[in-house]
Amino acid sequence: MEYHEIAPGVTIPKIGLGTWGMGGKQIEDRRWDEETITAIRFAIDLGLTHIDTAEYYGAGHTEELVGEAIEPYNREDIFLTTKVWRDHLQYDDLIDSMKKSLRRLNQDYVDLYLVHWPNYQIPLKETMQALEHCVNEGYTRYIGVCNYSVNLIQEAQSYLKENYLIANQSEYSLVSKAPRVNLLPYLQETNRTLIAYSPLGRGILPRMNFKTLTEIAEKYRKTVPQVALNWVITQENVVAIPKSSNPIHLLEFMNTMEWEMNLEDNIELTNSFI
């Protein structure tokens, strides 16, 4: 297992588990609850102990499933992340959302609380003050953002008195490389983590036949998803949260770690995607 220090003295696996679609998308879907709970526990047993969810997922039902799934485990062994939706970024709304998430998760605190998307209709200072309140009240250990630009992160940080935005969650994969231009270098320079969602390109990378990717997978005797994920997590200050409830895929994620492509292959793979 490979780990990354996301905060001083706090490490998480380089691969975690995303939960979008588990328990529903924009609305709740209870048809596969038992299978979802089993899958989350299987992932934790494998060592994928960073679990990422959000109040938006399944209209809150996903948080309920995550809470039930992690109940048998030592809480200190889990790094639990959830997110506040863009409509709830006013001061009182955000704090209310935080409390509701904790109730659904059946937890006293989360490890990381993220703003899911920016909302330019709500003053950023107000949102940051609410996040800071959540830390001070013990509702969350750390705070961060998602889908923020460098300028927005800098502005947000300027409104915080005592806390540091430790992470920015962003779509990042071989087919979504925009963060490499400005965002990732900035996060590396400021010792923040990029949490990569959709690291398999929303399923495009495993489904399509990309010649260079396939050839490199064959060379290293790995699967295409393993190579694509490895490309993401071997970069400095980057972790990934692929989503799957399939035990075979979860095992596949585990074999993404503890190996690296040589530099030439990495460059060739990077350059093969525009």
pLDDT at residue 154 is higher than 90: yes
Task: Give me the pLDDT at residue 274, please.
Answer: 79
Domains identified in the chain and CATH numbers: 3-203+235-259 (3.20.20.100)
Give the up-direction half-sphere exposure of residue 253: CA atoms within 13 A in the CB hemisphere. 28
Give the Cα separation of 86 and 76 in Å (integer).
29
Q: Could you read off the pLDDT of 224-274 as tens digits, one per residue? A: 999 999 999 999 999 999 999 999 999 999 989 989 999 999 999 999 997
Closest to 19 measured CA to CA, from 74, 72, 71, 82: 82
Residue 60 backbone zone (phi > 0: left; psi -120 to 50: alpha; other: beta): left
pLDDT at residue 221 is higher than 90: yes
| φ, ψ for residue 76, nearest 5 deg | -70, -15
pLDDT tier at 49, thresholds 50, 70, 90 = very high
Mean pLDDT within 187-207: 97
pLDDT at residue 133 is higher than 90: yes
pLDDT tier at 6, thresholds 50, 70, 90 = very high
Closest to 240 measured CA to CA, from 253, 249, 252, 251: 253
Mean pLDDT within 159-185: 98
pLDDT tier at 181, thresholds 50, 70, 90 = very high
Give the Cα separation of 112 and 51 in Å (integer).
10
What's 163's DSSP letter?
A: -
Q: Tell me how crowded residue 174 is: count the other CB atoms within 10 A of its CB.
A: 22
Give the up-direction half-sphere exposure of residue 102: CA atoms within 13 A in the CB hemisphere. 19
Task: Give me the pLDDT at residue 245, please.
Answer: 94
Q: Is residue 238 a contact partner of residue 193, using CB atoms and an 8 Å limit?
A: yes
Q: Is residue 92 a contact partner of residue 133, using CB atoms and an 8 Å limit?
A: no
Mapping DSSP to helix (H, G, I), strand (E, B) and coil, where does residue 194 land? strand
Output the six-digit token pair for 254: 């585990």
Give the Cα separation of 134 and 140 in Å (integer).
6
pLDDT tier at 188, thresholds 50, 70, 90 = very high
pLDDT at residue 14 is higher than 90: yes
Mean pLDDT within 149-164: 98
- Residues identified as active-site: 57
